[in-house]
A and B are shown apart, each in its own frame.
Chain A
């Protein structure tokens, strides 16, 4: 009896700890959204105010509609073009490469796998020095193409590695059965294996999306023209121009940048996790 009571006591304690950690995790996000919905005058009060007194969308209006020196909408457009192109290119190229590595045994296959892992470790922060020079030489500075190429190249190792796990997870016997039933090898692949890879493609696509959407350093260095800013660079410029005096507007900008990623992440997370688990287990 005492045992079960102390067990229940422990559970209550754990639940309390969980609530504390939950609050710590959520609070900054809450604070961002809360500040973004308050008038700046109310934000600039010395008293502690955990709930907003007045709710307003004015900060979002300022960010979205005020053309000013740092218009939001062109940056959003650039970010969308860059991100979606990256996802598309990375998904197609990674898919082809993953099939090669998973379904074929060829010379230098191990070499490729090692190369994938090693390239993934290369710090882009260090590579920037020469990448800047190389892109300059190719006349690609201040182009959207440069960002797409760099992002695609940097996410490829991880996407190939992950997709390879998913292709491994589909037993070759399924394809062979389809081929016995008369499918061509390619037909068998696209009718049997490909549909089973959808979770893998979604997982890698989301990964590429988040990487490209959030990337800051390359975008900062490669694109110096204001009309080619991506959202992270826009946010930094916005922060600098508002001199941390208009935190309400800065939080509105931060929220606008974070929302697509957070929503995407939360929506696909369940599928992604189950996909990653099933993909990692070899068939």
Chain B
């Protein structure tokens, strides 16, 4: 009999839910399947709804309300319709921040993707010991927390004792970098931030693209080489089409991450630099709502930011669903 082999070690809960032994084995049981998956999903769903869903709803509500310091201390919030949005959109500072964020993200994404892809191609061409060496280096950079990374780079770019100034001055003989302040000029500040973010993001792109490159069939490349195709032609005609989906997904992810950037800019502002002239959207929302107490306006800002990011997100979700189907 089949039952005799039923493991006796099964927990009470297991025996309670387990099917009676004479049931048809293997078929997905309809009746139980109608309840069980929902029961399994319930805990995660409840947590996510409470911590993300509910605040999201509150965010929408907040963005239509007058909600400043007075309301924090108990004054009822008034409905003001689209006032918050109108105020945000009429504020030149917002457009400045939006433009800065978009430009900053574009530069970060472009450099990260190009250099990351080149590093992936390099990894493919290296003999094993060098490939391992480079991989370890990239892993080390990848694993560093964003906050410590920012602080370390902030120290390296220090005006007085920073190693960057020392190398430029003593190593390359560029006297103008003696006590050069990297963070005081907004463009220079953002340049340092680009370095920090790109340094941390290249390993992800390099490894992801490298994994994609290993899937490209070698026979096709050899055949193309025999037919007289040069390395550039082979890359464009065979390799690129195969890794294109990976490149697209990685690019969209980078766009989303770089538009959301908070920690690196915020921490670098702690070290030096002028907040008002270097803030990106994430930091600007924090300054308006959390530090400034203007929750209504911050809510409108947050919704607008989400809409901006959702353009990239929707493209990504559609791709992931397509590859999932």
A, B assembled together? yes
Can you name 15 extra interface pairs (CB under 8 A) apart from A129-B295, A153-B50, A153-B51?
A15-B127, A19-B130, A44-B161, A89-B47, A96-B40, A101-B41, A104-B33, A117-B320, A121-B256, A128-B285, A153-B47, A184-B10, A187-B7, A213-B145, A239-B271
A121 near B310: Cβ-Cβ < 8 Å:
yes
Q: Which 4 A-B pairs have the closest CB atoms?
A: A182-B5, A184-B18, A153-B51, A265-B143
Contact residues of A: prevailing secondary structure: helix
**Known A153-B48, A176-B25; contact A123-B140, beta-carbon cutoff 8 A:** no
Contact A15 B151 (CB under 8 A): no
List residues 62-102 of chain A with CB under 8 A from any CB of chain B: 89, 92-94, 96-97, 99-101
> Would you call A18 and B126 a contact (CB within 8 A)?
yes
Interface residues of A (CB under 8 A from B): 10-11, 14-15, 17-19, 21-26, 28-29, 31-32, 35, 43-48, 89, 92-94, 96-97, 99-101, 103-106, 109, 112-114, 117-119, 121-134, 149-150, 152-154, 156-157, 160, 176, 179-187, 190-191, 210, 213-214, 216-217, 221, 232, 235-236, 239-240, 244, 247, 250-251, 254-255, 257-258, 261-262, 264-266, 269, 273, 277
Which of A18, A28, A117, A129 sits near B298, CB closer than 8 Å? Answer: A129
Q: Determine chain B's interface SS by DSSP, over half rule.
A: helix
Interface stretch of the complex, out of B55-63, B90-98, B106-114, B237-245: B55-63
Min distance, Cβ A184 to any Cβ of chain B, angstroms = 3
B134 to chain A, nearest CB (A): 5
A214, B156: Cβ atoms closer than 8 Å:
no
Residues in B with CB closer than 8 Å to A154 are 51-52
A18 and B134 contacting across the interface, CB-CB below 8 Å: yes
The answer to whether B143 touches A97 (Cβ under 8 A) is no
On whether the beta carbons of A123 and B305 are closer than 8 Å, the reply is yes
Q: Are A187 and B18 in contact (CB under 8 A)?
A: yes
Residues of chain B having any CB pair with chain A under 8 Å: 2-7, 10, 14-15, 17-19, 21, 25-26, 28-29, 33-34, 36-38, 40-41, 43-45, 47-48, 50-52, 54-56, 58-59, 62, 119, 122, 125-127, 130-131, 133-134, 136-149, 151-156, 158, 160-161, 163, 166-167, 169-171, 199, 203, 207, 211, 256, 259-260, 262-263, 266-267, 270-271, 281-282, 285-286, 289-290, 295, 298-299, 301-303, 305-306, 309-310, 313, 316-317, 320-321, 324
Contact sample, A vs B, 19 pairs, CB 8 Å cutoff: A14-B126, A24-B199, A96-B41, A105-B33, A121-B256, A121-B316, A123-B256, A130-B59, A130-B295, A133-B55, A184-B7, A186-B14, A190-B14, A191-B7, A239-B271, A244-B155, A247-B158, A258-B144, A277-B211
Contact status of A236 and B267, CB under 8 A, knowing A26-B137, A129-B298, A153-B51? yes
Q: Measured between C-beta atoms, what is the minimum distance from A260 to chain B in Å? A: 10
User: Within 8 Å CB of B148, what residues of A?
Assistant: 32, 235, 254-255, 257-258
A201 to nearest B CB, angstroms?
15
Complex CA gap A11/B122 in Å reads 10
Q: Are A126 and B26 also in contact (CB < 8 A) when A119-B52, A121-B256 are?
A: no
Given A21-B134, A25-B140, A217-B262, answer yes or no on A183-B7 (Cβ-Cβ < 8 Å). Answer: yes
Complex-state Cα separation, A159 to B44, whole angstroms? 11
In angstroms, how far is the closest chain A Cβ from the Cβ of B287?
A: 11
Q: Please pick, from B37, B62, B152, the residue contacting A106 in the complex, using a CB distance under 8 A.
A: B37
CA distance A264 to B143 in the complex (A): 9
Residues A25 and B271 in contact in the complex (CB < 8 Å), given A232-B147, A254-B152: no
- A28 and B130 alpha carbons, distance in the complex (Å): 20
CB-based contact B151/A100 at 8 Å: no
A255 to B33, CA, bound (A): 50
Q: Is the CB of A15 within 8 A of B130?
A: yes
A235 to chain B: closest residue by CB = B147
